[in-house]
Amino acid sequence: MSNYLEFNGIGKAYPGVQALKDISFRAEEGKVLALLGENGAGKSTLLKILSGDTKPDEGSITINGEQVSFTAPFQAITKGISVIYQERQLVPSMNVIENVYSGDLPANRFGFLKRGEMRKKTQEIIDKFGLPIDPYELVGRLSVAYQQMVEIMKAYRRDSQIIAFDEPTAPLTDAEISVLFRLIQQLKEEGKVVIYVSHRLGEIFQITDEIVVLKDGRMVTTMKTAETNEHSLIKAMVGRDIGDTYSHLSRNEEIGDVLLEVNNIVTEAVHDVSFKLHKGEIIGFAGLVGAGRTEVVRAIFGADPVLSGEIKLNGTPLHFSSPRDAIAQGIALCPEDRKEQGLVLWRDITDNICMPVFDKLLKGLFVDTEKSEDLAEAAVNRYSIKTPTLDKTVIELSGGNQQKIILGRWTSALIDTKILILDEPTKGIDVGTKAEVYQMMCDFAKQGIGVIFISSELTEVINIADTVIAMHNGHITGTMTRDEATEEAVLALAMLD
């Protein structure tokens, strides 16, 4: 009998939010089913229900004709379900073998681990997938991509018949994505039920067979991948035809005087980097992983020491000993890893937005609650942040809304932001929110703010930036205007030796 998974009328509500309503579809063995939708559509909630992290208020899950109900993740695991999240569920200080057997260590009748059996089975899985991984290597020393492979090995060792991937390619390079897709293809050929969540539509057409689209917690449509196209998917996800995202942007047409000068700076990771940013200009940095783009903006923000060279703001040399100094001068950074470096996930929306200006909100010894809530409310309204209340903890929000909170923080009425740095601002967010972020960047430029952004998506860089700067191995390899920039030209510069 073939393996299959069915969601039957699944519903889940949180205070003020109907996360899921009447979700019903079937995923079958030997196929990869894509789960698509904007941030907040309900994809993550559905995966949490599948993994046993969350219990639905309504409906049921059926596996091969058997109705199942989970109150804890280990129950889902015993039913052959594995969910591989963006955040690894691994122990960095343990080796590959120990992680593959985590939570299910085999022991003999004397209580000693069957280490020989563990090593043999792990090596068999490594060989089957053709991975260059040492079974005795500590997982913390592996790249993010190979840590993800260990997650897949763990699921395979458990003989999981249902494997769900949540935005698996977000931190991976193109070469690493190819390895991941090869593994998923092997799982598919072995008759596994594979569910795949991604915002990258190109991947959906490359790896999946069927698509389920969610919007606002409800099912919009199901379709075969081969019978649709990107335009139709975007329309189904967003609920409207967004057309050509870039041609509809309202851009700044008045570039001002030089705002920031970076002259021959050298850090441990970048060498002899020079460029100028004007008021109202958007500069986009392009390059492969490890090119030095993030390290350049970290130096400007005072997060990495400048060994030599000079940075000037409005003609005045700057010497930052910490990001606090940069913030005081009106330089703001939205980091690539918003969860680790940009937000305090367990604090509420108000605290996260007001964090840089708490000293300006003091009323005696305490923060003025009314003023801080007014500031947060203004950001929520300005950026259309989806939340039922300001008391919502940030970890409960979608990735797109988390990104908007960081933007709201740096553009509040109490901060005079002159330079806004955005490192991978659209990473992990849906197409509808991406369009909003693009327009926000243009709106910041219209206000005279100098915008620097980094993106691994070349299409974004060449369509958003007024000036494109390509980097390779810590050096700037070329600069061109938006009119001059093409994907081929920028990629050629990004790959220069």
The DSSP string of 37-76 is --TTSSHHHHHHHHHTSS--SEEEEEETTEEE--SSHHHH
> pLDDT for 73-94, tens place per residue?
999 999 999 999 877 788 999 9
Residue keyed to tokens 């940095």: 285
Check whether 1 has a pLDDT greater than 70: no
Q: Specify if 118 maps to a domain.
A: yes
Q: Higher model confidence: residue 412 or residue 136?
A: 136
Residue among 351, 354, 305, 347 at smallest CA distance from 326: 305
Check whether 338 has a pLDDT greater than 90: no
> pLDDT for 4-49, tens place per residue?
999 999 999 987 678 899 999 999 999 999 999 876 788 989 999 9
Q: Specify if 324 maps to a domain.
A: yes
Pair (233, 263) in one structural domain: no
Lowest mean pLDDT among 215-229, 231-245, 368-382, 423-437: 231-245
Q: Higher model confidence: residue 430 or residue 365?
A: 365
Pair (264, 209) in one structural domain: no
Q: Residue 437 is part of which domain span? A: 258-494
Pair (408, 282) in one structural domain: yes
Residue keyed to tokens 């409960």: 396
Q: Specify if 234 maps to a domain.
A: yes
Q: In this structure, what is the dihedral angle of CA atoms 229, 230, 236, 242, given to the nearest 10 degrees?
A: -130
Average pLDDT on 111-135 reads 90
Residue 255 — φ and ψ, nearest 5°? Answer: -75, 130
Pair (202, 329) in one structural domain: no
Pair (224, 94) in one structural domain: yes
Residue among 435, 490, 492 at smallest CA distance from 464: 435
pLDDT bucket at 496, cuts 50 / 70 / 90: low
Are 284 and 457 within 8 A, CB to CB?
Answer: no
Check whether 487 has a pLDDT greater than 60: yes
Pair (135, 210) in one structural domain: yes
pLDDT at residue 403 in the model = 83
Predicted structure pTM score? 0.65
Pair (281, 196) in one structural domain: no
Pair (210, 310) in one structural domain: no
pLDDT at residue 242 in the model = 53
pLDDT at residue 54 in the model = 92
pLDDT at residue 363 in the model = 81
> pLDDT for 236-254, tens place per residue?
887 755 556 788 889 998 8
Average pLDDT, the chain: 88
Q: Specify if 344 maps to a domain.
A: yes
Check whether 214 has a pLDDT greater than 70: yes
CATH number at residue 292: 3.40.50.300
Q: Please count the structural domains in the chain.
A: 2
Q: Specify if 88 maps to a domain.
A: yes
> pLDDT for 130-141, tens place per residue?
888 999 999 999
Lowest mean pLDDT among 283-287, 380-384, 479-483: 380-384
Pair (288, 363) in one structural domain: yes
Question: Any idea what the Cα angle at residue 255 is, between residues 254 and 258, rounded to 5°?
Answer: 150
Q: Specify if 10 maps to a domain.
A: yes
